[in-house]
Amino acid sequence: MVSRIILILIFASSAWAAEVAGVKIDDRTRVGASELELKGAGLRKRLFFQVYAVGLYVADRKADPISQPGLKRVAIHMLRDVGVDQFSEALADGIRENHSAAEAKALEPRVKELAATMAEIKEASKGMAISLDWTGAGTQLLVNSKPVGRPIAGEDFYHALLRIWLGERPVQDDLKKALLGG
């Protein structure tokens, strides 16, 4: 009986690696055929509101998440309802904050493409799981594990998305530290 309880506890503790604002963040996930590891997880706050819990998954936890090759995932777990226009605009603002005006202008068509894809879901509602995956061929938006829209071309676009949280001017300093495993 005791050994059975120990096995259950070991299995349960390996099923998730972090808990952020009551959301269990798994220590591993799959993108395509590849297994990725959790680099870090944190909480996005706006004023005194908890907006979302987020986890960053990469192939190599020790390497720089932006420059390392391979598949990646940003897994967002909504903690409150946010209109997709507001959500999309926040992503666009984060890109503008971490790129020169010329770079942001070059990324603009793909930012609009992501916003159009987000518009298909109507609202980023509390409890929704939104993933932004780098598939090796494009950035794929998933909602509750289901692909939405078509992949958006260009690894530079995915890097731009990562800079929202990990760039020189991240959306939130303590969130950047948490996503980097700090």
What is the block-wise mean pLDDT of the chain (182 residues), using blocks of 10 residues? 42 61 96 96 94 97 95 97 92 95 97 94 93 97 96 97 97 97 84
d(CA 21, CA 44): 10
Please give the residue range of the domain that contains residue 45. 18-179
Q: State residue 122's pLDDT score.
A: 85
d(CA 7, CA 156): 44
Residue located via tokens 């990469």: 58
The answer to whether position 172 is within a domain reads yes
- The residues with which 133 forms a beta bridge, in sequence order, are 73, 140
The answer to whether position 5 is within a domain reads no
Q: State residue 18's pLDDT score.
A: 87
The answer to whether position 63 is within a domain reads yes
Q: State residue 108's pLDDT score.
A: 96
The answer to whether position 96 is within a domain reads yes
Question: CATH no. for residue 101?
Answer: 3.50.70.10
The answer to whether position 60 is within a domain reads yes
Residue pair 87/164 in contact (Cβ under 8 Å)? The answer is no
Token pair, residue 64, equals: 């720089």
The answer to whether position 42 is within a domain reads yes
The answer to whether position 97 is within a domain reads yes
The answer to whether position 2 is within a domain reads no
Structural domains counted in the chain: 1
Q: State residue 110's pLDDT score.
A: 97
